[in-house]
Amino acid sequence: MIKTGIFGTHEGQKIVQATLTSAAGVEIDVFNYGAAIRDWRVPVSEGLRSVVLGFNTFEPYVRHGAYFGAIVGRVANRIGGAKFLLGGQEFPLAANEGNNILHGGVQGLHHQVWNLATNDGDNSVSFTHTSAHLAMGFPGTIKFEILYRLVGSRLEIKLSGIPDCPTPISLAQHNYFNLGQKNTVLAKTVPAKTILDHKLCIAAPHYAPVDADLIPTGDIRPVENSRFDFQEPKTLRNTEGQAWDYDINYVLDAKRSASDPVAQVIGPDAELYLKLYSDRPGVQLYNGAHIATKSIGLTGQKYGAYSGLCLEDQMLPAALNNPHFPSIICTPDNPYHHWCEIEIGQQE
């Protein structure tokens, strides 16, 4: 049975948490602020290990701007100049990163209190939210739904949005993963401070270069012979052992099989693995270079630079201003549908 409880309040609304548990012993806490994943615990030799960044109280989620575990949008990633053209009309948006808009703006989906419903028979939790016309400047009213379903070691995520007129939609799930966060109470060891020694593999032969503001230039380049090549597993350090900074979108092979993971991670102690499956054309890699929190995290430490790794499957960023990228314009007859699965388990 799915457990639910009150996690806090926000602007007079109750923040409700639901806990999914699988036969494999995996436990995932989700809550209705941002339709977010708060904690994800996986069985390992010393007990249960948290594999995402999060907090034990609600207030840090409002105070910190790092989108911990949330659904981001209406349009994930950055839109240069915080504006776009649609049907000959320019739509100015609410900039929240210099002159640009990031992850839907300050009052994006990550900052909304969603409706929550549980389904014990399906071991799933669904979240719904109606985004009003011109929210953060985006046209159209959209009915969003997010479904989390846990089976064994796999979490299936289905994201949908039904607009009442043509409008851009591109969502992403913004987990920060760290597979080496040994709990100080259970393991009596110091938690892993960074993800730099995780081994990462991304099944992408190309990436989308960005300018100084991290806005894609419109080019698509091969990863071969560059620091962006993760076609074979490697850590996130350079040849001198120092950290590389990554906040870049990978362009996946359009002919790939849905049964093949688009990204894989092995934890620093080689005990846990992660596999990401997705129907999206791109994956944003962010290695948490700018994380900085004052609140205590799930494993008893303050999160700093490189504490977590994001793999955000999504449409290609800046598609609105690069018509040769796959379109993100959705309509009542062509609504938004997005599927991904994340599997985290013990290495055999």
With vertex at residue 90, the alpha carbon angle to CA 87 and CA 93, rounded to the nearest 5 degrees, is 125
- What is the Cα–Cα distance from 271 to 198, expressed in whole angstroms? 11
Residue 3, φ and ψ in degrees, nearest 5: -85, 140
Q: In what order do the strands lie in the sheet with 13-21?
A: 3-10, 13-21, 27-31, 36-44, 47-50
To which residue do tokens 């602020």 refer? 33
Nearest to 338 by CA among 79, 156, 167, 208: 156
Catalytically annotated residue among 103, 129, 174, 338: 174
Q: Which two tokens mark 249?
A: 């979108």
Residues 6+ apart with CB under 8 A from 134: none
174 catalytically annotated = yes
Cis peptide before 256 (omega within 30 of 0): no
Distance CA 335, CA 157 (A): 17
Q: Is 312 a catalytic residue?
A: yes
Residue 3: count of CB within 10 angstroms of its CB = 12
In degrees and rounded to multiples of 5, residue 85 shows phi and psi of -105, 135
CA–CA distance, 256 with 62 (Å, rounded to integer): 38
For the record, the structure tokens of 239 come out as: 């040849």
Given 145, 312, 341, 343, which residue is catalytic? 312
What residues are labeled active site?
174, 312
